[in-house]
Amino acid sequence: MIKFRGITHREAMLIEGPKGWAEWSPFLEYETPEAATWLKCALEVAYVGVPTPKRTKVQVNGTVPAVAAGEVENILARFPGVKTVKVKVAERGQSLQDDIERVQEVRRLMPEATIRVDANRGWSVDQGIEAAKRLGPLEYMEQPCATIEELEQVRPYVKVAADESIRKESDPLKVKGRVDYAILKCQPMGGPTNVLKVEKELGLRVTVSSALETAVGMYACLATAAAQDVQPAAGLGTGGFFYEDVAERRQIVDGAIDVTPVTPTNFPACKNEDFWYRRLKECLGYLQSRS
Catalytic residue numbers, as ranges: 88, 185
Contact at 8 Å (CB) between 192 and 44?
yes
CA dihedral 273, 279, 280, 283 (to 10 degrees): -170
DSSP letter string, 228-246: SSS-SPBB--GGGG-SS-S
Contact at 8 Å (CB) between 255 and 80?
yes
Bridge pairing between strands 114-118 and 141-142: parallel
Longest dimension (CA), the chain: 54
The helix/strand/coil state of 149 is helix
Contact at 8 Å (CB) between 175 and 202?
yes
Q: Identify the helix (H) or strand (E) that includes residue 118.
A: strand 114-118
- Give the distance from CA 233 to its chain's centroid: 12
H helices of 136-190, in order, are 148-154, 164-167
Q: Which of 35, 31, 25, 29 shows the shortest CA–CA distance to 1?
A: 25
CB neighbours of 200 closer than 8 A, spacing ≥ 6?
A: none
Phi then psi for residue 212, to 5 deg, are 60, 45
Phi then psi for residue 21, to 5 deg, are -85, 145
- Cα 115–Cα 207–Cα 94 angle in degrees, nearest 5: 45
Q: Which of 217, 196, 195, 231 shows the shortest CA–CA distance to 261?
A: 217
